Structures are given as C-alpha cells and as structure tokens.
Structure 1
Amino acid sequence: MGKYGDLYAKILEARSVLKGIKHVTRLDHTSTFSHITGGDIYLKLENLQKTGSFKVRGAAFAMSQLSEKEREAGVIAASAGNHAQGVAYAASRLGIKSTIVMPRFSPVAKIQATEGYGAEVILHGDVFDDALAFAQETAKKTGAIFLHPFNNENVIAGQGTIGLEILDDCPDVEVVAVPIGGGGLVSGIAIAIKEQKPDVQIYGVEAASAASMQASIETGRVVSVENLDTVCDGIAVKSPGPLTYGIAKDLLSGVVTVEELEVTRTLFMLLERAKIVVEPAGCVGLAAFQHGRIDVKGKIAVAVLSGGNIDMSFLTRVVEKELFRLGRSVRVRGSILDRVGSMNRVLGIVAESGVSVIELNQDRSDPDILPNRAELEMILEVPDQEALEKMLDLLHNAGLDFSVYED
C-alpha cells in the first residue's frame, strides 16, 4: 500500500459497514455526452443515492465509528445542504440526535428535507464557512460531537466507496472527474482508485467563482477565497481542509474550473437528453468534459454526478433561460389597432404558423403609442427558426409589424 494505505483500509471497511445503509448507484453510459466530447463517457449517479447525494456515505460511516458515549452526546454538523441530509438520515437510522447548522440562504428544499429526516436545523451566516464556525463553537458549548463535512478521515473513507464501485463497474476507466467543495469526495475517490490503478487520472472540478482548492494548490498552502457568488451552492466553500488539500495535491492530475453558464447548460442537457435531474454542483465534472476543460477524446471517462437536490423554482428558471438561449422560446413585440378582433387576427396567424403562445400582454399605457393602437407582447414557443420566420412574414404580409426582441 502507498502513502494513504491506512485510509484505503478504512474505505474497504466502510464498504462493508455501509451495506444496507446506502445504495450502490448505477454507472450509466451516455451516448449524448460521448458524442459531444469524443470520449466514452459514463455517469456515476450519486444523485440517485439515498438523501439525493453521496454525502450519506461519509456521514453514516463516520457515525458508525462513534462510541456509545459519543452517540449519547448527539452530533452537530455544518452544511450547505447535502451533508445535512446525510447526517440527519444516518443519525435517525442509528438513533442519534442530530443538529445541523446551515447558511441562511440554503435552498428551501434542502432545509425542509433535513428537517424531514429528523434533525434540528439552525440557520446561521451567509456561506458555508460561517455555518461551520458556528457549529464548531456550539459543539464546544454543548458537548455534541462535531462531524466535519470533509476534513475527517472517516467521512473521506465513506465517500471513497464510490471509487471502489467505479472500478467494479468500469475497470478500464482512464479519467474520473469529481466535484470539489471541501475536497472530501475527491480525496476518498482518488485514494480508492489510485491504490488499485495508479495510472487513472483523477480531476477535481470547481466553480470558477469558488475555486478554493485550485487556489490552494497553486499557492502551495491552504488559502481562502471570498465572494462565493455561484449557482453551485453545494460546493461554495471558502477553503479546503488541511487533510483534503494534502490528498488532492498528492493524488490529483489537476483541478479545473467551469463557468456558471457552462454548468447550467450541462444541467439542462442532462435533464432534456438523459432525463437525469442534478443540482448545479453535482454536474460540474460533466460540464468540464462537455466544455473542454478536461480532454477525454478517445478515453474511457467517468463523471461523478454528486447530487440531485435542486430547488424546483431554480430548475424552472434554468429551463426557461436555456429555451430562450436555444431560440425555442422567443419574445415578439408589435402594435395593433385597439379594436375588437385585432388580437384574434394576430393569434390566428400565430396558430397557422405552428407556433404556440406561452404568455401574452397588451399595453395601452406607453405614451409613444397612438391612442388608437395598443402594444402586444408575446412569449412564444417555436418548433424551429423556419416556423418563426414564416410567422413573422405572415404577420408582415397582413400589415402587422412584429419583431423579435430581447429583454
């Protein structure tokens, strides 16, 4: 065994301990992303794990190692959402009282799910690191056992069971991309895979605006980044832990970043083409493949989809914005005579063109519009560009001047 042989032994132990507590999630081949990247791409579906993310693995194994006295004291943890649910679920399975500190702006779905698993939730601070400091302070005051979300050997060992499963299902894997927040997931997976197949390339992937692991490795020590403005709330961590930083520095082939719009475009494509729902943080690894941050052409590659706990209102906004970006939803504006039948005339032409109306607004208040006219704004769903052009031509030929406009 190598430098991390003791941790690898813990990963093997965790695999046995976690039987019946967590799912062995599927490793699915994706022809869509294989075609886009030129690689042979597989997806490790931890979004289908119990509690909706990989976090239950580390939380459950770490709590299984507590003494009876420690269990009686209860556990406290800090989380942006997924570690919270993992701890709450595992604690309820083991009969342990759990308290979770979450940032104030955590997604409502994650807060409610955590409470649903039986934990007491305390909202504190704006980002994960604020919640972390408060949880550690509370643990000292109350005597509860603080369960770190990533800088903990037992947590890392639990997450590392994913690496064992990847090798079971895809022994010829050449590249693995793993989301990085604090680094517990990528540390465990890297140890599990590198102990068996040292030539496999393991990459960590961060949101560009929350790239604390990349900054730490480039600097040569653990550093913090500020202003974590990212849609990837699950990996918005100011700094990695000393333990995870050391493992990442030793074992990773690199840490890359992806931009916000790259993440949401990958999320949308997963939903539409693969029928897979993931949260933004959960698909950064696949986004790195799709947008060329990691070269997988001609290689067998695995992207770990680390979680699927996404707020439904946010998912709706992602879908809406992508439909507009792709030109499948458009905004059209024009003026009509303000009299009976004018709107019906427009809508008849729209229907004749095979275009659907999603939203329609009529405005008579604009001072630049003549008193006998009204402005009509429509949001339309169009099957293709040809149908849109046909509709605009028909409207123009009918004396109705409408055009596409942007917000």
Structure 2
Amino acid sequence: MGASNPVNDGSSPIRLAEIEKARELLHGVTSCTPVETSTSLSAIAGAKVFLKCENLQRTGSFKLRGAFTRLSALSEADRGRGVIAASAGNHAQGVAFAARELGIDCIVFMPVGAALPKVSATRGYGSEVRLAGEDLSESIDLAKAEAQKSGYIFIPPFDHPDIVTGQATLGMEILEQVPDVGTIIVPTGGGGLLAGVASAVHLSGSSARVIGVQAEGAAAFPASLAKGAPVRLAKMATLADGIAVPEPSELTLGIVRDHVAEIRTVSEEQIGEAMLFLNERAKLVVEPSGAAGVAALLAGAEGMPEPIVVVLSGGNVDTLVLNRVLQHGLVAAGRFMQMIVRVPDRPGSLVKFLTALAQTECNVVSVEHERTSSGLAATEVQIGVKVETKGQEHKVEIISELKRLGYEVAFPALEKA
C-alpha cells in the first residue's frame, strides 16, 4: 500500500553549507558506513540494488548523526544545564553517546517495554535512564515535563533543523558512494532521516527518487500528507519500535511534502520476511524498523529507477524479538508451518500420521498429543505439529498430500494455509 506524493518545487529549510559543516563535525565521531551490493535483491527487483549499512554505525543506528550535531550546537551555558531525551532506543543511544563525548549530563526517558539491550547500552554510555510511559509518545511527554521542571534541554528525536541536518549527512554519503543512484528507500517514523536524505538529494541537484517506508501499524505520514498538517495516530501496533511514531512534525512533514516522491507502507509479515532475507542472504542483523525499506523492495520495485539504494537504518534488536520476528518471517515465507489434525484414538494413529509427514520430506520440529481439548470426541486425539518446509510450494504439497490421505488439516489463528 502506498501514498504517492510528487516532488514539489518548495525549498528545504535545511542548507547545504550546514550539512557540509555537520559532515566535518562528525568526522571521527560517526563512520561512513559501507554500501554493499546485493546480488540476491538485485535479482528479485530486476534492478541493481545496494544496501547502505547504517546498522553498522556506532551506537547501531543513524541517530548518532543528528544527536551529535544538535548537542554540538548548544552553547556552553546550555551544555551546563544538561540534556534530556525520550526514545525507544536508537535516539536514546545516540544522545547518550553524544552527551558523553561532549561532557554533558544526560537523562533519557524510555518506554517501560523498551528492549533490554537498548536500555543497557544507553546506561552504558553514562546516561541516567528512566523507564516511564507505556509508549514513546508518553515517554516524550514525560521527558518534556521533566525538562521544564529541571531546566534540562530537551533533545527531540526528529523535530529540529540540527537533527535533520545531521541525518542529511547520510544522504550525502549515498550520493558520493553511488553517484548515479536512481532511488533511495528510507525507513520512516517521525521523518527526520527521510527529511534529511531528501534535503541532501535536492540541495545536491540529484534527480534520485526518494521513497519513505512506514510500518502499516504506525503510518502517520499518508494521512498527514493528505491533510497537509500533522495527523496524530490514535494507536500504533508494530514490532518496528524504531519507526513507531504517532505523528510527524511540521518541519519533517513540510520537507517530505516538497521533496519526497512517495510513502509506502509494509506489513509485519513483510518486515519479518525482510529480516529473514537479510539474515540469511546478506548475513546482516537488522532491527525491524531498519528492514522496512527491504520489505518495500521485496513487495515490488515498480516506480523505482535503478540503481536502488536501500537504507538499513539500524541494527539494535533484542535477541528474543529477533527470534520471534524471524519465526514470523519463516511462516510468511512458507518455511515454517503449524498444523492441527484429529485422528482416531487407537494405537498406531500417531505413527501413521508422522510417517505420512516424513514421506513429504518436511522436518518435524515438535509434536503435541492432546486427548482432552474442547470439542474432541471420546474416540479422537488431537495432534499439533510444527514442521520446517522448503517454501510455499512445498507447504502446499504437504497439505495436499495429507488431505489426499484423509486428514482434515486445521491451522492456528496466526498460520496461513
């Protein structure tokens, strides 16, 4: 699903000279992350595809660029007051790292459900972490209230020209690493990175088409672009916490409206498939939000002039979350299947069923044998089985063979036949 928005002739409030100054400032602080060719993605897209590996950036994401640029612009008096931020993880680490490097006291508010590795990393950079708020929106409100009370300087995750200017340095790197780039795909939450990359492209005179990608369950830009003003989402539901932002700001919305060609959205299943693809084929660990651009490309490369550069915006993912998302990715790709069958409660029924499965050449991961489930007749047994398959075609073959043998196959709610 996509919301198309043609590039307008408006001018960005971000200046090329300021982006160049930010690049000099960030030299030795951030890395010029590599751009890697993806043969597999290129074959799928039918176009040359590169991956901008910002998941390999210091602190694990692009956020350090904007955070360090913003903190460096503070006066000595403001630095002495300390800074405060709110984040689900990546902005938190960027601000914490920048504050440590610049000798600034730092407090970071994080949602109570923030990933433990991100919390630990933020504390490891020397910042005080306060777990407060059910989601990022609540954490931001609490951080702003604390800033007013304490006098600390609030550092927004995207709503400041310095933040956008810092993120724009990533766009300048892409233009140097792939001078003839035709399309740049950018994972998008509040729009700081998207606005920065689009500004860099516009100000450099490149004709590259910039596309933002949001998770379906946290896509604030389509409605905001349609209205011409920020529209706040009533609720959000996505594992891609790095781009789970309820609304863009006037700053980022204005730049995106004028300089971004299109906003596309991707499902949780598509994000899971993209993470699985990156893990298996590119040997890269990428968080759900960082994989959104690859998810959009896997869904279709129409309207994307080549060469295509996909930004992998971050790699900070909890191992448990990674395992869960990859499992969903395997299901979406047809590589993992859960089934439920009912068989007569007599000796040999389980062996007969498992033998039938073995003949389909799938790999049985687990088996549950249940006699007391609701709805079971006294003469029946329910068998729940999880199997690894070779893909969608193999999955269809397994189901067809079981049905041919007389088994009635059912699936858990989250499983697709």
Per the TM superposition, whether the score is higher than 0.5 is: yes
Inter-partner Cα distance in structure 2 for 1:281 and 1:390: 33
Residue identity in the other structure for 1:249: R
Alignment of 1:173-192 (within 5 A): 173-192=181-200
Residue identity in the other structure for 1:245: L
After superposition, the Cα gap between the structure-2 partners of 1:304 and 1:196, relative to the gap in structure 1 and judged at 3 Å, is same
After superposition, the Cα gap between the structure-2 partners of 1:337 and 1:56, relative to the gap in structure 1 and judged at 3 Å, is same
Residue identity in the other structure for 1:322: G
The farther-off stretch of 268-277 and 53-62 is 268-277
Which residue of the other structure, out of 296, 321, 330, is the alignment partner of 1:314? 321
Alignment of 1:52-131 (within 5 A): 52-131=60-139
Equivalent in the alignment of 1:29: 37
Q: Residue 111 of structure 2 contacts residue 139 of structure 2 at CA under 8 Å; is this kept in 1?
A: yes
Residue identity in the other structure for 1:139: A
After superposition, the Cα gap between the structure-2 partners of 1:5 and 1:238, relative to the gap in structure 1 and judged at 3 Å, is closer
Equivalent in the alignment of 1:17: 25
Which residue of the other structure, out of 377, 398, 403, is the alignment partner of 2:384? 377
- SS of the equivalent of 1:76 reads strand
Inter-partner Cα distance in structure 1 for 2:223 and 2:88: 21
Q: Residue 332 of structure 1 contacts residue 380 of structure 1 at CA under 8 Å; is this kept in 2?
A: no
Residues 98-136 of structure 1 show CA distances to partners (whole Å, capped at 9, x for unaligned) of: 111122332333223222222211223233222222211
After superposition, the Cα gap between the structure-2 partners of 1:110 and 1:251, relative to the gap in structure 1 and judged at 3 Å, is same
Alignment of 1:288-307 (within 5 A): 288-292=296-300, 295-296=303-304, 299-307=306-314
Q: CA deviation at 1:92?
A: 1.8
Q: Residue 22 of structure 1 contacts residue 49 of structure 1 at CA under 8 Å; is this kept in 2?
A: yes
Equivalent in the alignment of 1:51: 59
Residue identity in the other structure for 2:275: L
Which residue of the other structure, out of 153, 156, 164, is the alignment partner of 2:164? 156
Inter-partner Cα distance in structure 2 for 1:337 and 1:170: 64
- SS of the equivalent of 1:277 reads coil
Inter-partner Cα distance in structure 1 for 2:360 and 2:229: 61
Equivalent in the alignment of 1:358: 365
Inter-partner Cα distance in structure 1 for 2:385 and 2:219: 41
Equivalent in the alignment of 1:8: 16
Residue identity in the other structure for 2:65: R
Inter-partner Cα distance in structure 2 for 1:308 and 1:382: 28
After superposition, the Cα gap between the structure-2 partners of 1:359 and 1:181, relative to the gap in structure 1 and judged at 3 Å, is same
Residues 289-315 of structure 1 show CA distances to partners (whole Å, capped at 9, x for unaligned) of: 22137522x521111111122222222
After superposition, the Cα gap between the structure-2 partners of 1:32 and 1:386, relative to the gap in structure 1 and judged at 3 Å, is closer
Q: CA deviation at 1:8?
A: 1.9
After superposition, the Cα gap between the structure-2 partners of 1:287 and 1:295, relative to the gap in structure 1 and judged at 3 Å, is farther
Equivalent in the alignment of 1:406: 411
After superposition, the Cα gap between the structure-2 partners of 1:321 and 1:188, relative to the gap in structure 1 and judged at 3 Å, is closer
Residues 4-26 of structure 1 show CA distances to partners (whole Å, capped at 9, x for unaligned) of: 48632121111111112111111
Which residue of the other structure, out of 325, 334, 341, is the alignment partner of 1:327? 334
Residues 34-71 of structure 1 show CA distances to partners (whole Å, capped at 9, x for unaligned) of: 22222221111111111111001111121222223222
The farther-off stretch of 64-73 and 157-166 is 64-73
The farther-off stretch of 33-42 and 141-150 is 33-42
Q: CA deviation at 1:150?
A: 0.8
Inter-partner Cα distance in structure 1 for 2:367 and 2:250: 55
Does 2:223 correspond to 1:215?
Answer: yes
Gapped regions of structure 2 (runs ≥ 5): 1-9, 413-417
Q: Residue 15 of structure 2 contacts residue 203 of structure 2 at CA under 8 Å; is this kept in 1?
A: no
Residue identity in the other structure for 1:142: S
- SS of the equivalent of 2:149 reads helix
After superposition, the Cα gap between the structure-2 partners of 1:36 and 1:92, relative to the gap in structure 1 and judged at 3 Å, is same
- SS of the equivalent of 2:32 reads coil
Residue identity in the other structure for 1:307: G
Which residue of the other structure, out of 236, 239, 260, is the alignment partner of 1:252? 260
Residue identity in the other structure for 1:36: I
Which residue of the other structure, out of 101, 123, 134, is the alignment partner of 2:142? 134
- Rg larger in structure: 1
Residue identity in the other structure for 1:292: G
TM-score (norm 1): 0.87
Inter-partner Cα distance in structure 2 for 1:351 and 1:6: 62
Equivalent in the alignment of 2:270: 262
Residue identity in the other structure for 2:329: E
Q: CA deviation at 1:265?
A: 2.2
Inter-partner Cα distance in structure 1 for 2:152 and 2:118: 23
Gapped regions of structure 1 (runs ≥ 5): none
Inter-partner Cα distance in structure 2 for 1:4 and 1:337: 71
- SS of the equivalent of 2:145 reads helix
Q: CA deviation at 1:31?
A: 1.9
Residue identity in the other structure for 1:300: P
Inter-partner Cα distance in structure 1 for 2:402 and 2:165: 64
Q: How many residues align?
A: 400
Q: CA deviation at 1:395?
A: 12
- SS of the equivalent of 1:86 reads helix
The farther-off stretch of 374-383 and 342-351 is 342-351
Equivalent in the alignment of 2:3: none
